Chains A and B, each alone.
Chain A
Amino acid sequence: MYYPESIIFFPFSLLSSAVPPIPAPGDIPLPSPLPEGVLVFLLVVSFLLHILFVNLMLGGSILTLWAEIKGTKNPKNKEYDLLAKEIANTITVNKSLAVVIGVAPLLTINTLYTIFFYSANALTGTLWISIVPLVTIAFLLLYFHKYSWEKYKDKKRFHIWINGIAVVFFLFVPFIFLTNINLMLFPEEWGSVKGFFSAMMLANVFPRYLHFLCASLAVTGLFLFWYMKRKRFPFESKFKDFSRTEVLKKWYKLALGASLLQLGLGPLNFFTLPWHAVSWGLAIIFIVGIVFALLAMFLLWRELKGPEEKLGKWFYPVAIALTITVLFMGTGRHVYRAAALKPHKERIQQKTEDRRQKTALLIKSFCGCFTGSGDKERS
């Protein structure tokens, strides 16, 4: 932990005294199934798709919790309960897609970064494997919550708790992923990490987590706007007190507010990255992403200020601008990952090549020994 930047935000770093050596492993001696560029493309695209649904799952369950609590606090707010139910309906689909789509980036990261990813997995193993029971329980709780709405309409506190526990699990699981994926980038830390929690304290995990959390709310706000704006969504027959515009504005405000917060959390995330892999190119990628985000925010603000009957007119430009932002952020993440791992990857390749030569030498010495002319090589 010798990056001065990490000390700025995480005094835990100071606890480590001796700097351990950096491991220099070799690679698995089988060729990559696809060219690296193809795997990188698949990784970035499939991961962004996966994270989109994770955002919707997390954001959806948090908003369900918020709306259901709000619905019970004041009899005037009773329709919030209905709103919570509508949001909960979307989670069923989003959470299933989040898991299945996640298999593709998992498969690809396994292939592309075998040594780095598996090493980080092992070093955070207990919590890493606990993702399986934690998410399973959270999913079962979500089903229980969704399909027991009528049954527990008079036991609201209990019903809210069912989702509340699922939300706690959902809030914790990204920590495990982020810790693991962050640890993977820094083999220089592997020797000093003692279990998951010490890996969690490494630079960039917390800012990245907050950045992710905020993105979840922004994305879910935008998604719910689209979901409830659709003509096929029978808003007027479901809600009596709420008007469609009123609710849609809530989602827009959420998307705008969370995006504004990202303007603070994004740079925090960037400046807590260990600097050795940061480049001007990376900064430019992020800045371009931010420009599109600003454009989206401006459009959101104009929509909110504009006439109600035109609400949603700029929805698709907003969505496209934010998609471009996400693509730039995802690309930037990959550029950083590639830069952070570059010296280690080269080292691994060199080591594997050394082993190849040593094996050839060994075989040559054996052949020489067999024909009586290999004494020199053997020595």
Chain B
Amino acid sequence: MFYNYIYLLKTEVFKAMDFPIFHLDFMGNRMLIAIIAIVHVIINHALAVGFIPVVTLLEYRGYRERKINPGAGLKWDELARKMMFVGFVLTTSIGALTGVGIWFSASLVNPDAIGSLIRVFYGAWFSEWIIFVLEIVFIMIYFLKWKKSNESLQTKKRHILFGAGLSVFSYCTMIIIVAILSFMMDPGNWLSDHSFLSGVANPLYIPQLYFRTPLAMMMGGAFALFLTMIFLKKGNEIREKAISFISLWLLIWTPVTAVGALLYRATIPDAMMGNLPTAIATMAFINWYDSLLLIILGAVIVSVLAALWGFLKPKKLPRAALVIPIIVMCILLGSFERVREFIRKPFVIGEYMYANGLRVEDYPLYKKNGVLPYATYVSTPRVTEKNKLEAGENVFMIACSRCHTVTGINSVVRKFRQRTAPGEDLSEEALKNYIPKMHKVWYYMPPFPGNEAELDALTAFILQMDKNPKYIRGAQTQGVKISPTHSREPNVKNTDKKGS
């Protein structure tokens, strides 16, 4: 406790649970963000950042070819235009909406985290927005003016320069967003001075940006290769040349990606080790860390083989060989997105806020008084013998529900069964012993924030759910109950009963 108070000395004001709790008890809240974010990242990397430079290069190739062989030049140009059509439709629909969707889902799942991040990164996100608007405007101009740009070589040249500018803008969005992503993993000096610059200059920024840049280029190339096979039938005079050309792009970026992945992997232990409290956790990390090396090697080898095949023997390259690099790169990207998750946990903002939305520095208060007295939207401001189950459900919603469900994916009941009593019934004693220590065994778990009475209540709730599972509904369907200690009567001003 003494240590905890020392920790508290760092804070000026404690934070309570001030938002209604949205909850999806089947798919889980994490899954909601994960689905939207992964779709967005794939579209961003494969169809914007890495794809537009390839399309622009293809258009440039057509422009050069047109001077010698106008027919072939126009075919190159038409290939690039068709590719851009796919990029245009997908980025301005699924890409744009999943981008907004990340905001929506984050505000639902962890309003404390996104609300805090926005106060640090408002400037960065606003700048990104300006670049984002320009990017979309440029994408529209680039695609919608394409046919008109074929009127003369001069207009074509201008159009290509426009494509180059668009490539730069797409990349700028990545430069900014990676700063925020890596900040969430390891805020570095921001923890002490809370300044914007310290937030941006976090330790994982450069390695992550260096890894994502060539990977996006490879993903864009792989997608372009795939589309080439669809748009150009066998016998088309530029088919083989186009396959060789894009394969060369892949070959150039593969070693850069490999170096980036290894560099990023090398920076992981520094960021990670501080979070590993036990030998078991360290072992689990090392196993997982080793498997990452295999994934990098596998992805690089497969991509190089497919690209070499396409470069040397474009005629014989089968369509299936083009799908594989895309899948492999998605696996590689997915693995590193998992890295982000691994490094970030148990925090949602490194060392500052746990994944449950509670701040590290407020834990001593919660440990002493419990979390319920600090929650605005709970039916039970404190645990009593009578309300134990209801209070247990409220504790679950505050402390566990951001990552766990009761009946669905990543069920808290199933997890406890696996961890405390494999093959046996859950017991009160085992749960009470396990919950306060679980963060020491599983490094990605935040410590249990509540006090003894709340531990009792949570245990009773988990045991009840083990026997009679029920679907837990969030504020979006069942509304909220307002804690009497955090409310005032309607129509009467300034009659707060107690306050926190």
Contacts and interface: CB of A to CB of B under 8 A. Distances in A.
Contacts of B474: 122, 125
B479 A101 contact: no
Contacts of A93: 140, 144
A346 to B, nearest CB: 9
B490 interface: yes
A92 B496 contact: no
A23 B108 contact: no
B115 A122 contact: no
Given A28-B116, A123-B20, A106 B100 contact: yes
B18 interface: yes
Contact of B94 (A106, A119, A136): A136
Interface string B101-133: 101110110011011101110110110010011
B277 interface: no
Nearest to A95: B92
Contacts of B133: 97, 100-101
B432 interface: no
Contacts of A97: 133, 136-137
B490 A19 contact: yes
Contacts of B99: 103
Interface string A342-374: 010001000110111011101100100000000
A14 interface: no
Contacts of A104: 126, 129
Contact of A111 (B12, B104, B119): B119
A109 B118 CA distance: 11
A29 B13 contact: yes
B479 A191 contact: yes
Interface in A79-126: 92-93, 96-97, 99-104, 106-107, 110-111, 114-115, 117-119, 121-126
Contact of A122 (B108, B122, B489): B108
Interface string A129-159: 1011001100110010000000000000000
Contacts of B488: 21-22, 24, 347
Contacts of B491: 2, 19
A9 interface: no
Interface residues of A, number: 73
B152 interface: no
A115 B22 CA distance: 14
Interface residues on B, range: 35 or more
Interface centre among A33, A97, A194, A358 (most CB of B within 10 A): A33
A257 interface: no
Interface in A225-274: none
Interface centre among B18, B22, B112 (most CB of A within 10 A): B18
A356 B12 CA distance: 6
Interface string B17-51: 01111100000000010001000000000000000
B256 interface: no
B93 interface: yes
B468 interface: no
B129 A118 contact: no
Given A103-B129, A118-B111, A195-B477, A23 B104 contact: no
Nearest to B16: A26
A363 B97 contact: no
A99 B103 CA distance: 13
B119 A143 contact: no
Contact of A24 (B119, B137, B475, B487): B487
Contact of A132 (B98, B125, B126, B194): B98
Which A-B residue pairs are the 5 nearest by beta carbons?
A: A125-B476, A25-B18, A21-B487, A33-B122, A132-B101
Given A99-B96, A110-B107, 17 more contacts: A21-B484, A22-B482, A26-B18, A97-B136, A99-B97, A99-B100, A103-B100, A110-B115, A122-B20, A136-B94, A139-B92, A139-B97, A190-B480, A191-B480, A347-B496, A356-B13, A363-B8
7 contacts: A107-B103, A115-B19, A118-B111, A123-B475, A347-B488, A352-B13, A366-B5
Interface of A: 2, 19-34, 92-93, 96-97, 99-104, 106-107, 110-111, 114-115, 117-119, 121-126, 128-129, 131-132, 135-136, 139-140, 143, 188, 190-196, 198, 343, 347, 351-352, 354-356, 358-360, 362-363, 366
